[in-house]
């Protein structure tokens, strides 16, 4: 006897899980939801505000060369300074977002305390805190490098400025000196999206980040090798790591909205090859990340 549409629906429904994994046991461990498949991750580095005043630039032959190079040099300096009069706009260093290849996360582990140990060695282990897990640490990024050495040049300028501030060669702007703010530190935002490329599933923020090495080791040479330098590694130190805190999303949105191109009236960029390059980024009320035109 042929199955009717009602019978087919009845059989199909019998294989659909009665999804209530919080209140009922899944006896046969039938999948009760969509598997988490990540499509793409986005990493954003906020621009520091290095003081590239003429006096500081004059104290460095390297900075002087960059300042005279309107093609690459001025873009590097502008990427590293919101106060430098250059062509870079927005709160983020897009050149790093466009070339970074990875973001390494780590678990947050709860510390415990041993209590009331008796003569037999038995004891009660109770939870303590995890504050030492979210403090200062380091993370290593892999960046794509190109023929003009755009990433290496930026990292070199950044690292040498920090060393110059410490030695007294460079002087930060007055506002940062008076407010006791590190002008060379950045924040790094990480968003892992779902299969649609927009729905934010996991997010993290590293505060007080700065590079600690110039990747000169990438330029070693060996006879007979191809010497095809496509990637470089740069380690960043940071002061605080936060995961899955709602304030991260609001903080990111506030920073983005400092610039008019991410206002609500701006059209969202289409997910097409023709719209591959976007000026800004925003997060919608639904918690989805979109690039703006």
7 has a pLDDT exceeding 50: no
Residue 148 is predicted with a pLDDT of 94
Mark 44-62 as b/e (b = at least 16 C-beta within 10 Å): bbbbbbbbbbeebbeebee
**How confident is the model over 24-38, as pLDDT tens digits?**
888 888 888 888 888
Distance CA 144, CA 207 (A): 23
Distance CA 165, CA 180 (A): 13
274 has a pLDDT exceeding 60: no
pTM listed for this prediction: 0.88
Task: Please choose, from the candidates 60, 46, 20, the residue with its C-alpha nearest in 3D space to the C-alpha of residue 183.
Answer: 46
Residue 39 is predicted with a pLDDT of 75
Paired tokens of 185: 């530190």
Confidence of residue 130 (pLDDT cuts 50, 70, 90): confident
Residue 35 is predicted with a pLDDT of 86
For the ranges 12-21, 91-100, 268-277, the maximum mean pLDDT occurs at 91-100
Query: Please, where are the H alpha helices in 80-149?
Result: 94-99
Confidence of residue 272 (pLDDT cuts 50, 70, 90): low
Residue 269 is predicted with a pLDDT of 63
Residue 271 is predicted with a pLDDT of 63
Q: Determine, yes or no, domain membership for 47.
A: yes
Q: Which residue has the higher pLDDT, 278 or 67?
A: 67
Q: Determine, yes or no, domain membership for 63.
A: yes
Percent of the chain whose pLDDT exceeds 70: 88
Residue 67 is predicted with a pLDDT of 96
**Helix, strand or coil for residue 152?**
helix
Task: Please choose, from the candidates 188, 71, 66, the residue with its C-alpha nearest in 3D space to the C-alpha of residue 137.
Answer: 188
Query: Which residue range forms the structural domain that includes residue 203?
Result: 35-103+131-214+229-242
* End-to-end C-alpha distance for the chain, whole angstroms: 59
Percent of the chain whose pLDDT exceeds 90: 63
Angle, helices 150-167/61-68, rounded to nearest 10 degrees: 140
Residue 172 is predicted with a pLDDT of 98
Q: Is 63 in contact with 73 (CB distance < 8 Å)?
A: no
Q: Which residue has the higher pLDDT, 150 or 4?
A: 150
Q: Determine, yes or no, domain membership for 268.
A: no
DSSP letter (8 states) at residue 102:
-
Residue 1 is predicted with a pLDDT of 44
Distance CA 122, CA 131 (A): 27
Q: Determine, yes or no, domain membership for 281.
A: no
Residue 270 is predicted with a pLDDT of 63
Contacts of 43 (CB under 8 A, 6+ apart): 96, 97, 100, 103, 188, 189, 190, 191
Residue 178 is predicted with a pLDDT of 97
Mean pLDDT of 76-103: 93
Task: Please choose, from the candidates 141, 114, 105, the residue with its C-alpha nearest in 3D space to the C-alpha of residue 244.
Answer: 105
Mark 18-42 as b/e (b = at least 16 C-beta within 10 Å): eeeeeeeeeeeeeeeeeeeeeeebb
Q: Determine, yes or no, domain membership for 185.
A: yes
**How confident is the model over 109-127, as pLDDT tens digits?**
899 999 999 999 999 999 9
Q: Determine, yes or no, domain membership for 108.
A: no
Mean pLDDT of 55-81: 95
Residue 275 is predicted with a pLDDT of 65
78 has a pLDDT exceeding 80: yes
Q: Determine, yes or no, domain membership for 72.
A: yes
Average pLDDT of the residues of the chain:
88
Paired tokens of 97: 């977002």
Number of structural domains (the chain) is: 1
Q: Determine, yes or no, domain membership for 20.
A: no
């Amino acid at each position: 006897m042929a199955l009717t549409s009602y019978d087919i629906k009845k059989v199909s429904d019998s294989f659909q899980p009665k999804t209530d994994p919080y209140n009922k046991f899944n006896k046969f461990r039938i999948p009760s939801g969509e598997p988490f498949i990540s499509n793409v991750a986005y990493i954003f580095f906020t621009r520091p505000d290095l003081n590239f005043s003429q006096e500081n630039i004059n104290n460095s032959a390297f900075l002087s060369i960059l300042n005279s190079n309107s093609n690459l040099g001025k873009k590097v300096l502008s990427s590293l300074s919101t106060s430098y009069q250059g062509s870079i706009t927005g709160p983020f260093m897009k050149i790093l977002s466009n070339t970074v290849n990875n973001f390494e996360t780590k678990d947050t582990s709860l510390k415990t305390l041993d209590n009331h140990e008796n003569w037999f060695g038995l004891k009660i282990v109770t939870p303590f805190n995890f504050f030492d897990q979210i403090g200062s640490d380091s993370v290593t990024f892999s960046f794509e490098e190109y023929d003009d050495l755009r990433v290496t040049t930026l990292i070199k300028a950044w690292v040498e400025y920090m060393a110059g501030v410490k030695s007294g060669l460079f002087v930060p702007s007055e506002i940062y000196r008076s407010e006791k703010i590190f002008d060379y530190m950045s924040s790094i935002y990480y968003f892992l999206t779902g299969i649609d490329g927009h729905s934010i599933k996991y997010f993290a923020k590293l505060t007080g980040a700065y590079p600690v090495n110039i990747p000169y080791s990438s330029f070693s040479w060996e006879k007979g090798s191809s010497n095809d330098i496509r990637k470089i590694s740069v380690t960043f130190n940071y002061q605080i790591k936060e995961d899955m805190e709602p304030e991260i999303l609001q903080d990111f949105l506030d920073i983005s909205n400092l610039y008019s191109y991410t206002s609500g009236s701006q059209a969202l960029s289409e997910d097409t090859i023709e719209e591959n390059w976007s000026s800004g980024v925003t997060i919608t009320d639904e918690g989805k990340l979109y690039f703006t035109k």
